[in-house]
Structure 1
Amino acid sequence: MTRPPDTAPNDRIRGLLTRGEGRLVWTIGGISVFTNLLMLTGPIFMLQVYDRVLSSKSEPTLLVLFALVAFLYTVFGVLDHARARIGARLGAQLHDRLDPQVFAAALNTDRMRAARAPAELSGLQQFASAPAFMALFDFPWVPLFLGIIALLNPWLGLLACLAALLLAGLGMANIRASRAPVGQAQTSAYRADRMTRQIAQHSPELDTMNMRAGALSRWQGQRRQALDHALALSDTSGRFGAIARALRLFLQSAILAAGAWLVLRGQLTPGGMIAASIILGRALAPLDQLIGGWPQVQLARAGMASLRDLLSHNPARACARIRLPAPRGQLVVRQLGLQAQTGARRVVLRDVGFALEPGQVLGVVGASGAGKSSLAAALAGHWPPDRGEIRLDGARLDQYPPDQLGAALGFLPQRVTLFEGSLRDNIARLDPAASDTDVIAAAKATGAHDMILSLPDGYATLVTAEETRLSGGQIQRIGLARAFFGDPVVIVLDEPDASLDAEGVRALGTAITAVRDRGATVVLTTHRVELLQGCDMTIRLERGAMVRPRPPGGETARRHTATRSVPQSLQAPVLTDAGQIRFPWEAGRNGAPR
């Protein structure tokens, strides 16, 4: 049994202070106590020099005070450096802890959000070592410094409080003014980066079809928009930051002038005048840093909220599950409904249902946009049902641990993607512990072995993210071998014959027959008659709904009914003399179409 985690991923973000990260945060807070107290070293030294050393003209006192100040500032430097190091490690530990959950959850969401999630997590890591983050720990000490100024003189204390309120008001105005630019800059930057990746990935098509000029224009527009939003954010942040710095310096001079006036009236010592100015500068420093670094704070808050929402909507992938008995391949779909995740949430599938026993093959046909690929994605666990359920050996797909479900499923998407690495790595599903025997067996089963050996580097042929020299048919065969790797009990193939030549289609049919004979369940979307005729049953999708079939009567269905319990609601198609696909329920008793 897999040991469940002591906190859910959503709680790991919301309750950040309850585990290892919390101890680090408390450590930073504890160190901040001493660093802020040590910041009083300078004002106290000034007070002693002006009020004692100069009046007494005692050189030994000056030397002792100077040695003490040197020691205290050394301690301050060590503690401040330690605080920064702990902050950096807090960010690294947070990133390391949440990275697997964010990665797994991002696989179940749309591409835009999936691309943002790692960047948001990295943003949280960087914020943990940023000056604005440390300013949050210094901010609670502002009242203490203001109180010390009030002890020196009540009028100076009142002036210091007014200065702090003025700077705080400026900070509130900065928050309101920068809220919209932060969101716009973040969104436009993600869109520009996404378009950059698309252009780099599809550069050959752009050259071939004379699309480079149009793509460049669109890319420049996206980058210009991102740059404009970034400049707007920089201008807003820079404007308020400059005002805050200038105002802080002016307020320090103002309290120095007020202190000098009090000295002239005999209500304050010269040392108190200098100390009040230095302490006010220290009291206003966290406010100044927060105003200048507020965009970082907003980005960190937005990233945390987005990650919390991402993980809360993907609990199945993010949480550990109990390990169920190894599935045999019984697949039951009941009233399956899917909705598009964007726009008006268009219905993609509705009331789709069928049942497959181990060793049966289901063919799915339908026009483009009928929902075939959506059904394949749902069966592979990539698209959680909005209605109905999918059960594998009696358990919903989300009740299996991700690693157990992944080992039990083989999936070939409509568009095969090879990951950076060797062909062996891609067939082995990036598993470094996979044996060469299993890799070669999967390649032989799908007819890819000889093709791979014909390459100069064979199974060691490298595929990079920028380019691959493999043809579409070769990539398709590698994808098929990956889907068949590890003897999965359920194999879902979305248009597996795409880009395959006649030899490849024959090898695919042989592979499907072999896995069916060993008891695996196969679901494939295709329009190839030779593949459909090898199916135990078929369904047709139209606008996301199943076309209701008549009772079976095909020879293939009858043959497998004798050895397997084939449901009496579906059957295989036949090929007419005209070379068209014809389903038995589409013809009358005399064979004429209805």
Structure 2
Amino acid sequence: MRWLAVFSVAANLLLLAMPLYLSQIYDRVLPSDSPDTLLYLSLFILMCLALFGMMEVLRNKVAQKMSACFELRLAPRLLHHALRTRASNKGDYALLLQDVANIRQMLASRAFIGLFDLPFTPLFLCLLFLVHPVLGVLATLGAGLLVLLALANEMLASDKQGKATDQHKQGTAKSNEILTHLDDVCAMGMGEALRGRWQDTMLQAAHSADDVAQVNGAFFGLVRFFRQMIQVAMLGFGAYLVLTSHLSAGLIFAASIVSGRALMPIEQFIGAWRGLASSRAAHRRVRAQLDRMEDAERDAAPRLELPQIEGRLWCQGVTVIPEGEQFDKAILKNINLEIEPGHVVAIIGASGAGKTALLRVLATVSRPDLGRYFIDGFETTQWDADQLGANIGYSAQESHFFRGTVAQNIARFSPTADARAVIAAANMAGAHDFIGTLPQGYNTLLGSEEIRLSGGQKQRIALARAFFGDPQILLLDEPDSHLDFTGEQALRNAIKDAKTRGKTVIFATQRNLLVTSADKVLVMEAGRIANFGERQELLPIRAQSADKPQQLNAPDEPLDPSDVPDISDASNPSPSMKRSS
């Protein structure tokens, strides 16, 4: 900022060379008929113009670097805070990052650089008063008139601009929905209907934007008209003063150039008014968030790196309520649960019973609105986020990958990931063989249009990512929903191996075959724990015949939670669910 001000001072002072050049030509060169004087004056003005061009280049370069430093200093800080605090208001942080990007663009623009020319407007007006008071008053009145036009423009266009912005955001949101779910839209023949819906919104936005453009265009035309009129008036009054012998002829054109330079920053400011106001509002939002972050960091106790995680999970009255809903709409209600390290727990229940919501809490993806969640006796907020994340392997129902190679996604984009660890995780998930059939193997870029993975392939890569790094806690949300028999067998083997090595494994499923890998079964019903106990006690038993041993449901039969005998009271957890003293 300091250097930008220095170069702006130099640039504006160098601009005075042109009016001096003209006044000297008319007042000295022409009356004396001196070619030598003209030559030296011309060389001097060329040198000044070259220096002025150099100052402009330096101003642009400084503004560009300043804007980049601004973004690189604030954007990583906001993103780091969102990651570290597991921010629930992700949309707000996305908007803040967009605000930072908009501010960066404004800092690098000519409109912002022009602000450093505004302080020189009074200087140029004072010079006009020195030339002649009438010319100074005329230029000052013109500057005031331009400012009044700018205020009137803001008052008339403000509401229209807000309406156009809101409608444009709605249209953008609708187009993003269409593109995000493009396959579903095309498969169900919804394309034309959704396109028409989006087009109606964008037409409304275009009409509102046209209203704003008409207002802005009218005032911009008025500003240009009055500025040119002021220039003509300066020349006219200057000529009159020359005729009445109150002014020399050379000062007419010098005064015209100085007045133009005095009014130009005001005109530029008026043209960039809305962008500057928008950036200023964005800066206020970013500054307010930074202040909240500083207060939170100052008040928060430092997070310690706790001992190695064992995998003991304890929920105490955990309740999750959707945003904007009341307690009776909670998707998890007073969950009391304790799971010891090395246990494998299967969560079953009907759709909407709360299986996914419980796994998201256990994986620290979401936080309970009421109650507390502990890992190894410490609340999750007390753990270092990086340490905790490295010890949790989570696979959601919907597999989402970031743009990068298969290996990078499996390795969670760790820059120090070992290739052997990536392959080991892929083998555990039964993904190694099919990855070899991809065009570039582990270096195949996910997210490219050439690569379309099936549901089962996506699920295997997601499982490999969950297994990577040998986490102590594995949380898998219906990991077998898209797997064939081979993939399911590989998953069962991986769970068995994790159990032998003392890992805590919790998975939700609707299929019998995977449940047989569990030690315990947790039955969810309407957001509550209906049953929790040993698998042999809770799974339905069906007699084959009098002379044959009893066996579980056939592996390919769906598991029906209603068949589970009611041997526990959800409101009074079994002793195994209570925390030991």
State the TM-score bracket (shorter-chain normalisation): 0.7 to 0.9
How far apart are the structure 1 equivalents of 2:142 and 2:133?
A: 14
How far apart are the structure 2 equivalents of 1:84 and 1:417?
A: 41
How far apart are the structure 2 equivalents of 1:555 and 1:342?
A: 38
The CA deviation at 1:76 is 0.9
Pairs within 5 Å for 1:290-329: 290-308=269-287, 323-329=305-311
**Match in the other structure for 2:493:** 510
Q: Does 1:79 align with 2:55?
A: yes
How far apart are the structure 2 equivalents of 1:289 and 1:115?
A: 31
Give, as a single letter, the amino acid of the residue that structure 2 aligns with 1:475.
Answer: K
Is the Cα contact below 8 Å between 2:540 and 2:565 reproduced in 1? no
Moved more, 575-584 or 473-482: 575-584
**Match in the other structure for 1:573:** 538
The CA deviation at 1:417 is 1.3
The CA deviation at 1:32 is 1.1
Is the Cα contact below 8 Å between 1:438 and 1:485 reproduced in 2? yes
Moved more, 100-109 or 432-441: 100-109
Give, as a single letter, the amino acid of the residue that structure 2 aligns with 1:60.
Answer: D
How far apart are the structure 2 equivalents of 1:457 and 1:404?
A: 32
Going from structure 1 to structure 2, the CA distance change for 1:36 and 1:183 (only over 3 Å counts) comes to: same
How far apart are the structure 2 equivalents of 1:137 and 1:344?
A: 53
2:36 to 60, 70, 81: 60
Moved more, 398-407 or 437-446: 398-407
Pairs within 5 Å for 1:350-499: 350-453=333-436, 455=438, 457-466=440-449, 468-499=451-482
SS of the aligned residue for 1:65 comes to helix
Is the Cα contact below 8 Å between 1:116 and 1:190 reproduced in 2? no
SS of the aligned residue for 2:118 comes to helix
Going from structure 1 to structure 2, the CA distance change for 1:357 and 1:270 (only over 3 Å counts) comes to: farther
The CA deviation at 1:259 is 2.9
Pairs within 5 Å for 1:579-594: 580-581=560-561, 582-583=563-564, 585=566
The CA deviation at 1:480 is 0.9
The CA deviation at 1:528 is 3.3
Deviations 1:21-45, CA, capped at 9 Å, x for gaps: xxxx121112111112222222222
Q: Does 1:51 align with 2:27?
A: yes
2:185 to 198, 201, 206: 206
How far apart are the structure 2 equivalents of 1:181 and 1:541?
A: 51
**Match in the other structure for 2:550:** none
Say which one has the larger Rg. 2
The CA deviation at 1:72 is 1.3
**Match in the other structure for 2:534:** 554
Is the Cα contact below 8 Å between 2:421 and 2:468 reproduced in 1? yes
The CA deviation at 1:396 is 4.2
How far apart are the structure 1 equivalents of 2:96 and 2:448?
A: 20
Going from structure 1 to structure 2, the CA distance change for 1:211 and 1:42 (only over 3 Å counts) comes to: same
Going from structure 1 to structure 2, the CA distance change for 1:486 and 1:394 (only over 3 Å counts) comes to: same
Give, as a single letter, the amino acid of the residue that structure 2 aligns with 1:332.
Answer: W
Deviations 1:515-573, CA, capped at 9 Å, x for gaps: 233233333333334444544555555554x3465xx66366xxxxxxxxxxxxxxx73
2:315 to 310, 333, 340: 333
**Match in the other structure for 1:95:** 71
How far apart are the structure 2 equivalents of 1:157 and 1:344?
A: 67
**Match in the other structure for 2:101:** 122
Going from structure 1 to structure 2, the CA distance change for 1:242 and 1:492 (only over 3 Å counts) comes to: farther
Identity of aligned residues (%): 36
Going from structure 1 to structure 2, the CA distance change for 1:491 and 1:310 (only over 3 Å counts) comes to: farther
How far apart are the structure 1 equivalents of 2:538 and 2:224?
A: 78
> Structure 1, unaligned stretches of length 5 or more?
1-24, 557-571, 589-594
**Match in the other structure for 2:144:** 165
Q: Does 1:28 align with 2:4?
A: yes
Q: Does 1:142 align with 2:121?
A: yes
The CA deviation at 1:214 is 1.8
**Match in the other structure for 1:239:** 218
> Structure 2, unaligned stretches of length 5 or more?
543-552, 554-558, 570-581
How far apart are the structure 2 equivalents of 1:427 and 1:87?
A: 41
How far apart are the structure 1 equivalents of 2:281 and 2:452?
A: 41
SS of the aligned residue for 1:149 comes to helix
Give, as a single letter, the amino acid of the residue that structure 1 aligns with 2:44.
Answer: L
Count of residues in correspondence between the two structures: 545
The CA deviation at 1:482 is 0.7
Q: Does 1:254 align with 2:233?
A: yes
How far apart are the structure 2 equivalents of 1:389 and 1:553?
A: 22
Is the Cα contact below 8 Å between 2:160 and 2:212 reproduced in 1? yes
How far apart are the structure 1 equivalents of 2:59 and 2:492?
A: 64
Moved more, 445-454 or 134-143: 445-454
Q: Does 1:42 align with 2:18?
A: yes
How far apart are the structure 1 equivalents of 2:31 and 2:325?
A: 78
SS of the aligned residue for 1:162 comes to helix
Going from structure 1 to structure 2, the CA distance change for 1:523 and 1:98 (only over 3 Å counts) comes to: farther
How far apart are the structure 2 equivalents of 1:504 and 1:530?
A: 12
The CA deviation at 1:80 is 0.9
The CA deviation at 1:425 is 2.5
The CA RMSD measured in Å over matched residues stands at: 3.5
Is the Cα contact below 8 Å between 1:145 and 1:283 reproduced in 2? yes
How far apart are the structure 1 equivalents of 2:313 and 2:276?
A: 48
The CA deviation at 1:438 is 0.8
- TM-score, with structure 2 as normaliser: 0.82
Deviations 1:275-298, CA, capped at 9 Å, x for gaps: 332222111111211221223223
SS of the aligned residue for 1:522 comes to strand
The CA deviation at 1:183 is 4.2
How far apart are the structure 1 equivalents of 2:568 and 2:313?
A: 29
SS of the aligned residue for 1:500 comes to coil
**Match in the other structure for 1:21:** none
How far apart are the structure 2 equivalents of 1:147 and 1:271?
A: 18
How far apart are the structure 1 equivalents of 2:293 and 2:520?
A: 33
